[in-house]
C-alpha cells in the first residue's frame, strides 16, 4: 500500500539553486561594473590632473625676443606629487628640438592638433606611465611654431588605488551575494510553505475524513487541489456505495434469518431424537452467529455513515451511561450479573449521541457476554482534567495475552471468544466512534485484576 514514491528532485532546492545562481551572476556583474566604473573615474581624475599640469606648463611658455622661454611653475609638477608618490616626467619641445625635460620620453602615436591633448598609456624605463600630450601653436619670427608638452607619471599609485578599489568592489559583490542568498532561501521557503501547509492539513485528517479541501491556496495550486477534491469526492461516493450495499445486504439477510430461527425453534420443540435436537441446536447457533454478524455489519455501516457528517450536540455522559445500564439490566440479570452504575458529576461532551450509545453498548455488551454468571460489572463516568470518561469494569478475566490493538480491527476475536456468539466488530465500532469524536479507547486490566477495564475518553464540551 505504502510503496515509496519516486522523487524527481526537490522544488525548493531547484528554486534555491536558481535564485542563488542568479545572485552569483548578478554579484559578479556588479563586481565588474563597479570596478570598471571606479577604474574609469580614477583614470579620468588622474588624466585631469595631468592635463592641468600640462596646461600650467603650457601657460608658462612664451616668446621673448624671438626666443621661446619656458619657466615651469613649481605648482605644475607638485600638484602631481599630491596625488601619489609616483615619479613625474615632462618634456617641452618643438617639432625639431627638445627645449627642456626628458629627451627620451616616448612620444604619442596620436596626432594632436593645436589647443588639444592626447592621453597614452606607455612604458618608460620599464615602468608603465600615463602621459598627456598638449600642443600649442605660437608665432616665432612671424612663422608658426608648434610647442609640444608631455607630462607623464608612473602608475604605481594608481595600481595600488585600483587594487584597493577591486577589494571594495569584491566586498560589495560578496555582500550582495550573501544578502541575495539569504533572500533566496527565504523566498524558496515561503513559496513552498503553502504546499507544506496543504500536505500537513491533508495528512492531519483522520482516516474517515473525506471532506473536500477548502483552505485557501495560491492560484498555481488550484488545479492540484481541484483534482485532489475530485478524487476525494469519487472515493467518498464509492465508499458510501459499498457501505450502503453492506447495510442493504445485512438488512435483507437479517429478516429471513429471523424467520428461519423461529421455525427451527418450533421444530426443536417437536423433535425428540437426541441427534436431531443436537443438529437443530447447531443450526440455531449458526443462525444466531449470522444474524449477529448481519446486525453488527449494519451497525458498522450506520456508524461509518454518521461519522461522515458528524452531528455535534451537547451530551451528558452520565445520563447516557445510566440510560444504557438500565436498558441492558434485563440481559445482565439473565446471567445473574450485578450491573452497577456510578456517575460522578455530569461530564458534558459534544457529539452524536446515537454513535456514542452504540459504542458504549458494544463495550457493555462484551462485558456481559464474556463475564461468568453471578459476577459484577461496574459502569462509571467521571471527569478527568479536560477529558470525560465512561468506563466499564468486569470480572471476565480481561485481555490476558491478547493483542488489544489487533482486537480493535475488524473481524478480530480473541481466544476467549470461542463458543461465544460474535463477529469481531464491537471494539472496532467503539474505537471508530471515539476517534471520530477526537477521543481514545483505552483497554486495560481492571483494578481488581480479575477482568477488563475498557474506557472511552472524550474531550470535554
Ligand atoms: N470485556 C471483555 N473481556 C474479555 N475479552 C473481551 C472483552 N471484550 C472483548 N473481548 C475480546 O475482544 C474480542 C473483540 O471484541 P469485539 O467486541 O470486537 O468482538 P466480539 O465481541 O467477538 O464480536 P461482536 O462484534 O459481536 O461484538 C472478543 O472476541 C474477545 O475475545
Ligand atoms: Mg463484542
Which one of the ligands is nearest to 377 CA? 1
Q: What is the percent of the chain where pLDDT is above 90?
A: 59
Checking if the pLDDT of 29 tops 80, the result is yes
Q: Is the domain of 290 the same as that of 322? A: no
Q: Is the domain of 46 the same as that of 143? A: yes
Q: Is the domain of 387 the same as that of 258? A: no
pLDDT at 360: 97
Mean per-residue pLDDT over the chain, rounded: 91
User: Residue 82 Cα, ligand 1 centroid: separation in angstroms?
Assistant: 102
pLDDT at 387: 94
Q: Is 194 within the bounds of a domain?
A: no
Checking if the pLDDT of 208 tops 80, the result is no
Nearest protein CA to atom 26 of ligand 1, as residue: 422
User: Residue 178 Cα, ligand 2 centroid: separation in angstroms?
Assistant: 65
Q: Is 263 within the bounds of a domain?
A: yes
pLDDT at 10: 86
Residue 115, domain CATH: 3.30.450
255-276 average pLDDT score: 93
- Smallest Cα–Cα separation from 153: which of 96, 205, 207, 77? 77
Q: Is the domain of 277 the same as that of 401? A: no
Q: 275, 290, 309: which is the final residue of a domain?
A: 309
Q: Is the domain of 22 the same as that of 147? A: yes
Question: Looking at ligand 1, which atom is closest to the CA of residue 408?
Answer: 18
Q: Is 442 within the bounds of a domain?
A: yes
Q: Are 329 and 340 contacting, i.e. CB atoms less than 8 angstroms apart?
A: no
Q: Is 44 within the bounds of a domain?
A: yes
Which one of the ligands is nearest to 406 CA? 1
Reported as a single tens digit per residue, the pLDDT across 368-409 is 999 999 999 999 999 988 999 999 999 999 998 899 999 999
Residues with C-beta atoms within 5 A of ion ligand 2: 366, 426
User: Residue 69 Cα, ligand 2 centroid: separation in angstroms?
Assistant: 127
Q: Is the domain of 442 the same as that of 371? A: yes
Nearest protein CA to atom 31 of ligand 1, as residue: 414
Q: Is the domain of 57 the same as that of 98? A: yes
Q: Ligand 1 site: residues with CB under 6 angstroms?
A: 292, 296, 362, 366-367, 370, 394, 396-399, 407, 413-414, 416-417, 422-428, 452
**Counted domains in the chain:** 3
Checking if the pLDDT of 82 tops 80, the result is no
Checking if the pLDDT of 242 tops 70, the result is yes
| Segments forming the whole domain that contains residue 85 | 14-163
C-alpha cell at 92: 617641452
Reported as a single tens digit per residue, the pLDDT across 284-320 is 999 999 999 999 998 998 898 888 778 889 999 999 9
Q: Is the domain of 276 the same as that of 319? A: no
Q: Are 229 and 211 contacting, i.e. CB atoms less than 8 angstroms apart?
A: no
Torsion 293-295-300-305 (CA) sign? positive
Checking if the pLDDT of 1 tops 60, the result is no
Nearest protein CA to atom 8 of ligand 1, as residue: 366
273-278 average pLDDT score: 94
pLDDT at 437: 94
C-alpha cell at 444: 486495560
Amino acid at each position: 500500500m505504502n510503496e515509496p514514491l519516486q522523487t524527481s528532485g526537490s522544488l525548493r532546492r531547484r528554486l534555491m539553486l536558481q535564485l542563488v545562481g542568479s545572485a552569483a551572476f548578478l554579484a559578479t556583474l556588479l563586481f565588474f561594473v563597479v570596478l570598471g566604473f571606479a577604474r574609469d573615474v580614477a583614470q579620468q581624475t588622474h588624466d585631469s590632473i595631468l592635463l592641468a599640469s600640462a596646461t600650467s606648463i603650457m601657460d608658462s611658455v612664451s616668446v621673448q625676443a624671438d626666443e621661446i622661454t619656458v619657466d615651469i611653475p613649481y605648482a605644475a609638477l607638485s600638484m602631481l606629487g599630491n596625488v601619489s608618490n609616483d615619479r613625474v616626467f615632462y618634456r617641452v619641445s618643438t617639432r625639431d628640438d627638445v627645449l627642456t625635460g626628458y629627451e627620451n620620453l616616448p612620444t604619442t602615436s596620436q596626432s594632436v592638433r593645436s589647443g588639444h591633448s592626447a592621453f597614452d598609456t606607455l612604458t618608460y624605463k620599464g615602468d608603465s606611465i600615463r602621459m598627456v600630450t598638449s600642443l600649442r601653436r605660437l608665432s616665432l619670427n612671424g612663422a608658426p611654431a608648434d610647442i609640444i608638452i608631455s607630462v607623464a607619471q608612473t602608475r604605481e599609485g594608481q595600481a595600488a588605488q585600483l587594487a584597493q578599489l577591486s577589494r571594495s568592489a569584491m566586498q560589495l559583490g560578496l555582500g550582495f551575494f550573501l544578502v541575495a542568498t539569504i533572500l533566496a532561501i527565504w523566498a524558496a521557503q515561503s513559496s513552498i510553505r503553502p504546499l507544506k501547509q496543504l500536505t500537513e492539513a491533508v495528512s492531519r485528517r483522520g482516516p474517515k475524513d473525506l471532506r473536500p479541501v477548502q483552505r485557501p491556496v495560491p492560484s498555481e495550486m488550484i488545479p492540484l487541489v481541484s483534482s485532489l477534491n475530485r478524487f476525494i469526492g469519487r472515493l467518498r461516493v464509492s465508499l458510501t456505495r459499498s457501505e450502503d450495499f453492506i447495510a442493504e445486504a445485512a438488512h435483507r439477510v437479517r429478516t429471513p434469518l429471523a424467520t428461519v430461527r423461529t421455525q427451527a425453534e418450533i421444530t426443536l420443540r417437536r423433535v425428540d431424537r437426541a441427534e436431531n435436537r443436537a443438529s437443530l441446536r447447531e443450526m440455531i447457533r449458526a443462525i444466531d452467529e449470522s444474524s449477529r454478524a448481519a446486525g453488527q455489519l449494519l451497525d458498522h455501516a450506520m456508524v461509518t455513515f454518521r461519522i461522515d457528517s458528524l452531528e455535534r450536540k451537547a451530551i451528558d455522559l452520565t445520563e447516557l451511561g445510566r440510560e444504557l445500564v438500565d436498558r441492558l439490566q434485563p440481559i445482565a440479570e439473565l446471567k445473574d450479573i450485578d450491573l452497577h452504575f456510578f456517575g460522578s458529576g455530569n461530564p458534558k461532551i459534544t457529539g452524536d449521541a446515537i454513535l456514542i450509545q452504540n459504542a458504549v453498548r458494544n463495550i457493555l455488551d462484551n462485558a456481559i457476554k464474556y463475564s461468568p454468571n453471578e459476577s459484577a460489572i461496574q459502569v462509571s463516568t467521571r471527569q478527568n482534567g479536560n477529558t470525560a470518561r465512561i468506563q466499564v469494569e468486569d470480572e471476565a478475566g480481561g485481555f490476558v495475552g491478547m493483542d488489544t490493538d489487533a482486537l480493535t480491527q475488524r473481524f478480530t476475536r480473541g481466544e476467549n471468544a470461542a463458543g461465544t456468539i460474535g463477529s469481531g466488530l464491537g471494539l472496532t465500532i467503539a474505537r471508530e466512534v471515539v476517534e471520530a469524536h477526537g477521543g481514545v479507547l483505552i483497554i486495560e486490566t481492571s483494578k481488581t485484576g480479575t477482568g477488563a477495564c475498557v474506557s472511552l475518553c472524550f474531550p470535554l464540551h
